[in-house]
Structure 1
Amino acid sequence: MAYYTVAHFLQKGDMYGNDHSSVKPAQLTNEIWEFLFCNGPFPENSSISSSLLKEMKQEFDYWYPFDLRVSGKDLIQNHLTFCICNHTAMFPKHHWPRGFRCNGHIMLNSEKMSKSTGNFRTLRQAIEEFSADATRFALADAGDGMDDADFVFEAANAAILRLTKEIAWMQEVLSAEPSLRNGPPSTYADRVFANEINIAVRTAEKNYSEYMFREALKTGFYDLQAARDEYRLSCGSGGMNWNLLWRFMDVQTRLIVPICPHYAEYAWRELLKKDGYVIKSGWPEADLPDLTLKKANKYLQDMIISMRKLLQKQVSGSKKGNVNLNSQNKPTVGLIYVDEQYGGWKKECLGILQRKFDTSTGSFAPDKEILSELQKSDIAQQGNFKQIQKLCMPFLRFKKDEVLAVGVQALDLRLPFGEIEVLEKNSDLIKRQLGLERLEILSMIDDALERAGPHAAVVRQNPPSPGNPTAIFL
């Protein structure tokens, strides 16, 4: 690696070393190498010109220590290990390597590359077939870590379509500027979209710094595009915010530049009309993400999906029936019952689990201790405790499993946001998504069951709980 920093002086750009007329091998004495690589004294008696030696020394000092060496996983036991050994033996600590990155082998369309079978592409062939940026996009999307990466032709072709489609969308938005809202984020959808942009900036930066390029592509492009598409659906008649869309286009262009530099430069200069080069523009700034807002939006989107499935089932009359949301029996009114906080025996069970959870080990006390605590609790004094206990045990098991899946916040008595507030602020979106004319958000703490009429039994049989509202369609 050290030799590479001065090889162009010695070989005049000939990688095979056939041309070494500038310096003869005999002139490269130990004193020369000591001076170049180990800060030794200047070799006054060398036949190599002092100006050339100083240039070589400057070149080495510029490039060392090298930041990263990337190689295949099969070289860990030999080349890479010896690289570390040689550097620690020969160089001072400030010239030791700063990082190594190992990767797997590359496959082509899920099969091993092989010239004999014809399943083979050189980089030049891939670039000529798919373009440089689409090739880089597909390579980044092929895999992370030491698993074998899979370069898929369909992914490269899809990248061409994605990037071309994105250019067309940006042109459309830029031409529609006068018809869009201006100003800071003001609606719930605005705040969610702005938050998703901040999340993309932060997570993509982390992924790039860890050389996880597929994850960087996911967080900095795919997830960001999904957030943009969701924003378009959420805005409704109020329209989208121009300032947010401009920030989205700016951020997306900067986040994709390490993978698709040609596309990014075109978008930066030709579409956004910015000066200079995007590759020199720096990483976009981002506020600290609001994770509670992200959870609230996930709750909202999950609720819309589950309610749509419930509505489709109600319209079709059967899980296997044909879904026909335009049929005459389609409901037009939605009642959503919400219970924002656990109470009664569920509250008691959660309190027991909170006390019996060890945060240092991330585990619960033995089931015997939890059962003993339950039998000493206030609900054990009730006359129908045996009946309640039959409900408690599956609830305790469910919550323990949920903690292992999502974390200790699963034991909270309520969600970190107001469910009713989120649903009410997005009632227009819910109505549009479900095709309803009217929507009511009802709290179980109020006397609201009578609004369900003959369907009240459904709410009693499937009572809502924090994070799980119950919907009735009329």
Structure 2
Amino acid sequence: FFDLSEEVVCRCGKAVVIKKVPDQWFIDYSNVPLTEATKNHCKSMHILPSEFYNNVQGILDWFRERACVRQGNWLGTRFPFDPKWIIEAISDSTLYPIYYVIAHYYNTGQITLEQMTEQFFDFVFLGKGTAKEVASATGMNEELAQCIKDDVFYWYPLDINLGGKEHMTVHFPAFLKNHVAILPPELWPRGIFVNWYVTGKLGKISKSKGGAEPIPDAAGNFGVDALRLYYAHIAAPFADVEWDEDSIKNYVTRIERVLRAVDELKSLDGAEKMSVDAWLISRLNSRVGAINEAMDDYDLRRMANEVYFETLADVRWYIRRGGNNENTASKVLSMWVRMMAPITPHIAEEVWESLGNEDFVSIAPYPEAIGEDIDIVAEVAESYLGEVMADVNEILKVTGIAPKRIILYTTPQWKRDVLDLALDMSGEDSLTVPSLTKAVMSREDLRRMGKEAASFARKQAEEMMKRSAGEKRRLAAPLDEYQYLSDAADFLSEALGAEVVIYSADDTSAPDPQRKARAAQPRRPAIYVE
């Protein structure tokens, strides 16, 4: 036994000592060409979190010779070069995913252990030789040999290897180097996903440490789907999360809210279509696109948020806005229930059946975003309406006024023209404060506004240069603010508890006791509260 330079304690709580094992066998993971080939391949992989993507290069450099066999009463494969040894688990397990592809052929008796020779593996894993040669050497059916090889090259490479954070310096380096060392490049792995822990009050919940079921009868107490939603939404994959019974109760409540919203949609029976119908259909399609992006990054939390929080908010807003179209509700329900299926499959199946479907939602195609159904103007318009309501409510909260009448003044046309000039110049990558000011003052209709036009141009240029591409697209959407707010005046009056009147700032006959209209800007109406 040898002393370490300082005390090292195992996860089990015992002191760690090093024992010299004579006649030990190692895999030379320090091999420079292998290390460099693996590092280069990792640059093309989808590795999450990004910190591990950056750190894996150093880990591969650090990962050196590793003992690959052990002695004792272990389960495992005898080491072919010295039968007194058993192949060590990490060395043996890092290639097991490719064996899964062919295991069922052995388990179902289609091939025997004796037929699984080195020549057989060279053919099905490495593409060496022919099916005819393998069949001749092993007595295997030639078509079966070819079928097994085709299976391997169809299912491999491995798209993603998921493992706990403790594997970042233990399992994953061996997994990567073994694949690169043995398999042809087209079968090298494509991704790694490192997850953190779900912890209990006494530490990590795991099979080895006990407590793998943190609460007895959890499924019976909370429901399987609530537990699945809890884990999907609250458990950020790259941070430890502590099991919290109160939080799970919140997800039970969340599912109940979703089911109530489903029932409300099912009860809608109108035929009239409103602007909010186009908005809801567009929102669902946009959310499907966002979910697909999230799943490309294995981001279950973002997916769950889109399905159970954001979509629920959309549905409730639609109903609040007076939406009552049966066809819209039917289309939304079909999409929404299929969006729920991966995380809350049991509830999704029940709702799917209640909609009159005879097959299972689990085998129904996942919804795809339909470009023609995405209406950016409808989405911008409803967002604008919500922002106006929020601004008015903020004024009422700050001032404490009990309003009798609320007047909204939409932007004058000349300010919209300045904004359009700024958007055009931004798209041409020629926007600066001087260039926009010059363009504004070169137009007679804008120059008549004098210093106000120059000041507004400067402000728009400064703001526009800070905006994202998405913000610019939304600003460019052709929204008739006056008309949209006028159409929603009754809704606004009911929601805000006072009569709401809409005027254009261009309307010289509009009542304006405090000269508020002059403050109106594109997408920022001026507000007067009586």
TM-score normalized by the length of structure 1: 0.73
Report whether the alignment pairs 1:305 with 2:390.
yes
**Structure 1 residue 69 displacement after superposition:** 2.2
Alpha carbon RMSD of aligned pairs, Å? Answer: 4.4
Give the distance between the partners of 2:304 and 2:515, measured in 1 at CA.
45
The answer to whether the 8 Å contact 1:337/1:442 transfers is yes
Distance in 1 of aligned mates of 2:187 and 2:476: 54
Question: Structure 1 residues 149, 44: CA separation in 2 closer, same or farther (over 3 Å shift)?
Answer: farther
Q: Is the 8 A contact 1:70 1:102 kept in 2?
A: yes
> Can you list the C-alpha shifts for 1:326-347, whole angstroms capped at 9, x where unaligned?
xxxx43332211114444xx97
Matches within 5 A, 1:279-428: 279-288=362-371, 289-314=374-399, 316-317=400-401, 330-343=402-415, 392=455, 396=458, 399-401=461-463, 403-407=465-469, 416-428=478-490
Q: Partner of 1:103: helix, strand, or coil?
A: strand
Q: Name the residue aligned to 1:320.
A: none
AA paired with 2:357?
K
Check conservation: 1:340, 1:467, Cα contact below 8 A.
Answer: no
Asked if the contact 1:342–1:466 (Cα under 8 Å) also holds between the matched residues in 2, the reply is no
Q: What's the secondary structure of 1:468's corresponding residue? A: coil
Q: 1:332 to 1:166 in 2, by over 3 A?
A: same
What letter corresponds to residue 444 of structure 1 in structure 2?
Answer: A
Checking the alignment, whether the CA contact within 8 Å between 1:340 and 1:419 is kept in structure 2 is no
Q: Is 1:231 aligned with 2:322?
A: no
Alpha-carbon distance in 2 for matches of 1:2, 1:141: 31
Report the Cα distance in structure 2 between the residues aligned to 1:231 and 1:411, rounded to whole angstroms: 24
**What SS class does the counterpart of residue 500 from structure 2 fall into?**
strand
Quote how far apart the aligned CAs of 1:188 are. Answer: 1.7
* 1:245 partnered with 2:306: no
Q: SS of 1:44's equivalent? A: helix
Aligned to 1:131: 223
Using the TM superposition, give the Cα deviation of residue 234 of structure 1 relative to its aligned residue in structure 2, in angstroms. 0.5
TM-aligned CA distance change 1:468 to 1:79, over 3 Å: same
Deviations for 1:180-211, whole angstroms, at most 9, x for unmatched residues?
203xx621222222221222222223322332
Percent identity between the aligned chains? 19
Q: CA deviation at 1:296?
A: 1.4
Match of 1:443 in 2: 504
SS across alignment from 1:337 = strand
Q: Write the distance in 1 (CA, Å) between the matches of 2:468 and 2:403.
A: 35
Alpha-carbon separation, structure 1, partners of 2:356 and 2:343: 21
| Rounded Cα–Cα distance in structure 2 between residues aligned with 1:254 and 1:353 | 39
Q: Partners of 1:424 and 1:440 in 2: how far apart?
A: 8
Q: Which residue of 1 aligns with 2:88?
A: none
> Hey, what's the Cα distance between the residues in 2 that align with 1:306 and 1:28?
72
Distance 1:44 1:410, change over 3 A: closer
C-alpha distance in 1, partners of 2:331/2:474? 36
C-alpha separation between the residues in 1 aligned to 2:379 and 2:255? 27
1:136 shift after superposition: 1.7
Which residue is equivalent to 2:270?
Answer: 181
Q: Which structure has more RCO (C-alpha within 8 Å, separation ≥ 6)?
A: 1
Note closer, same or farther for the CA distance 1:65–1:123 as it changes in structure 2 (3 Å cut).
farther
Task: Give a deviation string over 1:346-405, Cα, whole Å, max 9, x none.
Answer: 9779968975x6966xx976x8x77997999899xx9x99x879x939x84675245424
1:60-84 deviations in whole A, cap 9, x for unaligned? 4563333332234554555434434
Q: Which moved more, 1:219-228 or 1:27-36?
A: 27-36
* Structure-to-structure mapping, 1:182-197, within 5 angstroms: 182=271, 186-197=273-284
Q: Distance in 2 between matches of 1:224 and 1:305?
A: 20
Residue by residue over 1:255-312, the C-alpha shift from the partner in whole angstroms, topping out at 9 and shown as x without a partner, is: 011111122112112x112111111110235432112221111111010121123234
Residues 58, 373 of structure 1: CA spacing in aligned structure 2 closer, same or farther, 3 A cutoff? closer
2:234 pairs with 1:142: yes
8 Å Cα contact 2:226-2:251 kept in structure 1: yes
Q: Any conservation in 1 of the 2:284–2:311 contact (CA below 8 Å)?
A: yes
CA distance in 1, matches of 2:502, 2:525: 10
In 2, Cα distance between equivalents of 1:282 and 1:32:
38
Could you tell me whether the CA contact under 8 Å between 1:109 and 1:153 is conserved in 2?
no
Partner of 1:256: 340
* Alpha-carbon shift at residue 88 of structure 1 (Å): 4.0
Aligned partner of 2:514 among 457, 461, 468:
457
For the residue of structure 2 that corresponds to 1:416, the secondary structure is coil
Q: Distance in 2 between matches of 1:358 and 1:249?
A: 38
The code of the aligned residue for 1:299 comes to Y
Q: What is the aligned partner in structure 2 of residue 83 from structure 1?
A: 175
Q: Is the 8 A contact 1:31 1:43 kept in 2?
A: no
Whether 1:33 and 2:89 are equivalent positions in the alignment is no
Unaligned stretches of 5+ residues in structure 2 = 1-96
Q: CA deviation at 1:247?
A: 1.8
Alignment CA distance shift 1:353-1:5 (3 Å)? closer
C-alpha distance in 2, partners of 1:169/1:372? 50
Output the amino acid matched with 1:105.
W
Amino acid at match of 1:65: P
Residue 439 of structure 1 and its aligned partner are, at CA, apart by: 3.0
Instruction: Measure how far apart 1:51 and its partner are.
Output: 10
The structure-2 alpha-carbon separation of the partners of 1:250 and 1:376, relative to structure 1 and needing over 3 Å to count, comes to: closer
Q: Is residue 469 from structure 1 mapped to residue 530 from structure 2 by the alignment?
A: no
Alpha-carbon separation, structure 2, partners of 1:209 and 1:57: 28
Determine the C-alpha separation between the residues in 2 that align with 1:403 and 1:111: 52
* CA contact 2:261–2:316 (8 Å) conserved in 1: no
Taking a change above 3 Å as real, the CA distance of residues 169 and 463 of structure 1, as seen in their structure-2 partners, is: closer
Contact 2:197–2:239 at 8 Å: present in 1 too? no
Paired amino acid for 1:181: G
What corresponds to 1:322 in structure 2?
A: none
CA–CA distance in structure 2, aligned partners of residues 258 and 442 of structure 1: 48
Q: How many Å separate the matches in 1 of 2:279 and 2:473?
A: 26
Distance 1:376 1:301, change over 3 A: closer
Change (3 A) 1:359 1:100: farther
Q: Deviations over 1:146-204 (max 9, x none)?
A: 44456543343222222234335534654x45xx203xx62122222222122222222
